[in-house]
Amino acid sequence: MKPVYLDYAATTPMDERVQDAMQEAARLFFGNPSSVHSLGQEATAAIRKARLEVAALIDAEPEDIFFTSGGTESDNALIKGIFFDRKRRELPCHIVTSVIEHSAVRESCGFCKWMGADVTAIPVDSDGVVEELAFAAALRADTALATIMLANNEVGTLEPIEELAALCRARNIPFHTDAVQAVGHIPISVKKLGVDALSFSGHKLYGPKGIGVLYLRRGVSVYPLLEGGGQERGMRSGTENVPAIVGLGEAARLARENMQQEMVQLESFQKYLQSAINEIEGTFQNGGALKLPGNFNFGIHGIASEDLLMRLDIEGFAVSAGSACNAGAVEPSSVLLSMGRSPAEALESIRVSMGRFTRRKELEDFVGTLQRLAREMRQ
């Protein structure tokens, strides 16, 4: 039997309509978009159409959308790009971030620190929410960037981005948010949020892997990481991956069409899981009430998540213990530790994440299996 997939936060299955769009693009738009002949211009037109769809998804201007290889590259390009721009102009660089960021942001900030930047990591409360007072206090005259994720990839917590961005805007400090987990799943407007930069990845919204987006508001000075032919208006040189870009455009269109319906369904699934898992003795939940629909992180006292995940996999259920980017490391989650969980509790926590193709019967089967395994493993 095909495993029941409950790890949508790690990656989403590609929608068949996206696959069809990509296959057509690979067949029809094989010309180099930089070529002036008709085949090249057809590829350029396909990219332009996809850019419009992506911009519409996050309420941005199309000319502020830059295609990358994924969320990791987008985060790196923005954070290091601002640092290199400051270094080129011989200006000091202070970066404000949080202790629960994805490794793409955390390691990029670490690189900048190694190269001479000053980095301040803001703590979070027990729900995983960035403390606004601490954030405001961390901003300085030489702060060149603040970067706080929109939704946490492990516990689904939504951060007060609009409020944090307003604090930066009042001080003329560029604000970036890693929105990889959120784009396509909840309504997002870069204008309403007031952010200067936002990054996301195609494979988290039923699109292909290897394609991502950096939204960058005009006027923010960033030195490009990749230099060459000047594609993406000089921000990201390299011949464009036309089929992947077309696939992302189709994924963005489908997300806009289906978002409200999917949110309602996932919120009902989340409530069902919360109620059902509460009935298992010794369970605890991670994260607050304000979180992404479909993301549920919990633990069972006395049962190691590594052992539970293996048993669930044998039973035909694919779930995870947190960030897929840190898979294989049997260490307590730094996110959960930052939220006040003990190392033992962090090692007892798992993440169930649902999506477009999840069905209620699958969740009922999962809950029944989990209840049985909890009893067996305690014995």
The DSSP secondary-structure symbol of 117 reads -
Q: Which of 142, 167, 133, 159 is nearest to 82 (CA)?
A: 142
Which stretch of DSSP H or E encloses residue 285?
strand 283-286
H helical segments located in 92-220: 103-114, 132-138, 161-169, 190-193
- The 3-state DSSP class for residue 291 equals strand
**Rounded to whole angstroms, what are the CA distances from 207 to 10, 76, 240, 244, 358?**
13, 21, 16, 8, 17
Contacts of 251 (CB under 8 A, 6+ apart): 15, 18, 184, 202, 205, 206, 207, 208
Place of tokens 């609009």: 162
CA 225 to centroid of chain Cα atoms: 21
How far the first Cα of the chain sits from its last, in Å, is 28
Q: How many CA atoms lie within 13 A of 70 on its CB side?
A: 10
Q: Which of 93, 112, 168, 325 is catalytic?
A: 325
CA dist 109 and 122 (Å) reads 13
Which two structure tokens, joined as six digits, stand for 24?
């057509």
CA dist 134 and 27 (Å) reads 53
For residue 296, report the phi and psi dihedrals to the nearest 5 degrees. -135, 115
Does the annotation count 325 as an active-site position?
yes
The radius of gyration of the chain from alpha carbons, rounded to an integer in Å, stands at: 21
- The 3-state DSSP class for residue 82 equals helix
| Active site (catalytic) residues | 325
